[in-house]
Structure 1
Amino acid sequence: MAPKFGTSGLRGLVTELTPDLVRAYTSAFLTACPTGGAVHVGWDLRPSSPDIADSVIAAVLAAGLDAVVHGALPTPALALASLDAGQGAVMITGSHIPADRNGLKFYTPSGEISKDDEAGINANLTTPEGTGTGARIDAGTAAPDAYVARYADAFGALALAGMRIGVYQHSSVARDIMVRVVEALGAVAVPLARSDIFIPVDTEAVDPETRAGLAGWCADNQLDALISTDGDADRPMVADAQGTIVPGDVLGPLTARALGARHICTPVSSNTLVTRMAGFDTVDNTRIGSPFVIAAMETALAADPSAKVVGYEANGGFLLGFAADGPAGTLAPLMTRDCLLPILAPLAAAKAAGQPLADLSAALPPRFTAADRLTGIAPERAGRLLNELGTDAGARAAFFDGVGAETNVDLTDGLRVSFQGGDVVHLRPSGNAPEFRCYTESASTVRADELLAMHLDKLGSVLNA
């Protein structure tokens, strides 16, 4: 599949992300979007990322702009640095997908590019590269230090005091930052499974082997919780003391509640428990992807600049739209997917309440989700299946046979079908890779897992036939 824009920027096979293509997309971004006179550049720990970064930097310099080079850095830390400077940014990352793929995420001085910006970039791909001579600036450690300080200052040195927190480091670009932050908040950090080989951790679909490993690490190290992120650290992973993963769309409501948010923006795929929680005035459901969540947040803020609005995705990435009070200080808005806030806020809330993280989660309305994906699925085949199921009630009845009578069909993003009794099945092709995702929701974890296994099997039979 040729490189293209999806819900998280440009993605494609490394072999297809040639220097010429990368320079062309970077030049188009610089032509179509404001930059504030400089572009900050960071990358994840994939083997291909430094070379791709060289092509990005060359295009920035040729445009006569300064390139502020941060090196390996979490996406939200790069975004924070560029936003604070009022300048643009390019992050080289393929996020959670395998190392044979990579990509680019673009930021203007006001944040992530919009879908309109994306169209402008595509329209300018044939623009000749400039012949300027911008300056290359070494950013040093200012950005990671500021990212750590953001949370150390807001939560304070006692927020996690007395806790033992495992840090599954693997190849996350935030693996050292996570250790620094939990120690700054008073916890004992226990680094685990650092890897020199890139591991594509998908926080929405953690494989059974990894799940079993989490439980073993928690038991062996007497952990109160275990944390991690995906490759570029815009998605969190949190497990309780038993090694059970707390889903991202549970971390989201817990974080929103801890921050005093009143207006929630979240994709239609997220757990509906948030609609049953007290304290939230509005829940807006969007298409899947941070650009759509951000657009909804911006709409809410345009209507009421004082709105206490946040966004989160089912993968756990959390976006803060207002100045929120932490236990020890204020958190400035950061409207890009962040991993640290939805890790720290629930853990600090559990610590303040004197209860385990598992008890904090168990007190929420009883709605449970499961998600996984099929890989190697051609987008054309996925599209044909969704079109058939979305337009033909008979085809849906046959495909979902055994679940129950359908009560609602939602085509906001993919196909989301609700059934009598409360079960939900959501089918959607990935926007970034040849994958097909299945999300399920029910009143018990057992039933959500049953629905997931059942429909992944059906999807495999149909899509791989």
Structure 2
Amino acid sequence: MMNSSNIIARSGIGFGTSGARGLVCDFTPDVCAAFALAFAHVVQQEGKVTTMALAIDNRPSSYQMAQAISAGLAQINIASKFYGVIPTPALAYYAMQHNMPCIMVTGSHIPFDRNGLKFYKAQGEITKADEVAILATNVPLSAITTLPELSVLPDAKDAYIRRNTEICKQDALVGKRIGIYEHSSAGRDIYNLILEAMGAEVISLGRSDEFVPIDTEAVSEEDKEKARAWVKGYKLDALFSTDGDGDRPLLSDEFGEWLRGDILGLLCSKILGIEALSTPVSCNTAIEKSNLFKHIERTKIGSPYVISEFDSLLSTFNSVAGFEANGGYLLASKIKLNGKIIQPLPTRDAILPAITLLSQLNQQSISEQVKLLPQRYTASDRIKDFARDKSLSLIANINKEPEAWLLKLDLPFKLAKVNDTDGFRMTFTDGEVVHLRPSGNAPELRCYAESNSQIKAEQLVKATLSAIQNL
């Protein structure tokens, strides 16, 4: 008989900013079962669990991982309900409505040779404390030798479609042409149904049988060019897409220019009339400059940190939400849209911010909505295959002597202030911002920049990362 903590420790798989992530080869059936059993043990401290919900993304490895999870849970008499390939927020929403914990098998936006697991209690996404408890739990388990076939249930998919169609006016997008860049997104068979229910003419684009790792914080030049060409060629009013598991959105304007995720979140919050926001330190300072919100709480990067502020905000404000620079929108409170109540969904969601902005197209185009905001521009990119320890060492050294490192990083500015909430964020006297941090999901060093023009923000990122690579 084996035990979960030893199996997990030997795998080398750990928790990132959201969920457990690692190489596919390390997610063996025994490792998947060990995570599931440890999670079940943590959940059962709060009450008996007899059923757990499962779903997957379109990665080649995801179905087998779900089979192993189901086999592991069966060892402690927990039944699995499998909802197939659906977005993470669709699984989380359905499970929360039915008081079930759930596990989503997804590596989100990272390459297909990696994968991951996201865990949700019946109340919502687990906390960082829960992650520590899962790793420390010592549950006995038998080796997984047989993988069960899993039958797909449609209920979670159907509930997610209803959630988003019921709040929209059926004629909101009549006469509008909306493209969907489907690639391998877990929601690619759902989004067209939601947009068509709003009256849109939907054009499906770029569906792929191979997994495509779309990173909404570091959109490739190829995907930028695709968007411009598709919008022009198909005469689209907007183009919508997501990352692999459908919790991070991409939305372009009528010119094919992708909106930054934090601008999308800001516009969505404006339309929804949100009073208080929880958002990471990496998000655009146009949030504060807009003067649209009664309170803004800045956090570390990662949905668990955003969520951790919700209870405090809800004690004071009626409408509370959060979003990240990747565009994932987290709704903490009930709100009303078009006379309909939207139930809370305190986990990243891609479709709500998109349909909220799209619902305004008969009054204003997306570019017109953006122009009404304070004009602050952000950019981000990353150095791949950059070990986390190397990132942490670099950031620690910069923190010790920031002025000296400005010369090494080819940043000819004077420091106004620094922020080490998550990584190292430098704000300069002319308002420029450069922020370095290790990715929580992959061996990558991320760089964020903010400026008074998009070109300058992109140049800051490029120059900083180039200087680091040449050190």
**Shorter-chain-normalised TM-score: which range?**
over 0.9
Q: In structure 1, what residue type is equivalent to 2:439?
A: S
* TM-score when normalising by structure 2: 0.94
Matches within 5 A, 1:353-368: 354-368=363-377
- The answer to whether structure 1 residue 13 and structure 2 residue 23 are counterparts is yes
- Does the aligned pair in 2 maintain the 1:61–1:136 contact within 8 Å? no
- Does the aligned pair in 2 maintain the 1:66–1:137 contact within 8 Å? no
Q: Relative to structure 2, which stretch is displaced further, 313-322 or 139-148?
A: 139-148
What's the CA shift for 1:69? 0.9
What's the CA shift for 1:279? 2.7
- Does the aligned pair in 2 maintain the 1:42–1:72 contact within 8 Å? yes
What's the CA shift for 1:396? 2.9
Matches within 5 A, 1:17-416: 17-34=27-44, 36-124=49-137, 126-129=138-141, 138=151, 140-301=153-314, 303-304=315-316, 307-351=318-362, 354-416=363-425
Work out the CA distance in 2 between the residues paired with 1:454 and 1:264. 32
CA root-mean-square deviation: 1.6
Identity across matched positions, percent:
40
Equivalent position SS for 2:396: helix
Equivalent position SS for 2:370: helix
Q: In structure 2, what residue type is equivalent to 1:129?
A: L
- Does the aligned pair in 2 maintain the 1:2–1:13 contact within 8 Å? no
Q: 2:445 aligns with which of 436, 453, 458?
A: 436
Q: Relative to structure 2, which stretch is displaced further, 73-82 or 354-363?
A: 354-363
Which aligned runs of 4 or more in structure 1 are off by greater than 6 angstroms? none
Equivalent position SS for 2:141: coil
What's the CA shift for 1:137? 8.3
Q: In structure 2, what residue type is equivalent to 1:300?
A: L
What's the CA shift for 1:153? 0.5
Work out the CA distance in 2 between the residues paired with 1:30 and 1:188. 44
Q: In structure 2, what residue type is equivalent to 1:449?
A: E
Consecutive unaligned residues of structure 2, counting only runs of 5 or more, are 1-10
- Does the aligned pair in 2 maintain the 1:286–1:292 contact within 8 Å? yes
- Does the aligned pair in 1 maintain the 2:384–2:444 contact within 8 Å? yes
What's the CA shift for 1:136? 9.4
What's the CA shift for 1:341? 0.6
Work out the CA distance in 2 between the residues paired with 1:278 and 1:219. 35
Work out the CA distance in 2 between the residues paired with 1:455 and 1:446. 14
Consecutive unaligned residues of structure 1, counting only runs of 5 or more, are none
- Does the aligned pair in 2 maintain the 1:97–1:202 contact within 8 Å? yes
- Does the aligned pair in 1 maintain the 2:176–2:200 contact within 8 Å? yes
- Does the aligned pair in 1 maintain the 2:100–2:121 contact within 8 Å? yes
Q: Relative to structure 2, which stretch is displaced further, 364-373 or 64-73?
A: 64-73
Q: In structure 1, what residue type is equivalent to 2:108?
A: S
Q: In structure 2, what residue type is equivalent to 1:210?
A: D
Equivalent position SS for 1:245: coil
Work out the CA distance in 1 between the residues paired with 2:163 and 2:411. 50
What's the CA shift for 1:432? 1.0
What's the CA shift for 1:147? 0.5
Q: Relative to structure 2, which stretch is displaced further, 155-164 or 371-380?
A: 155-164
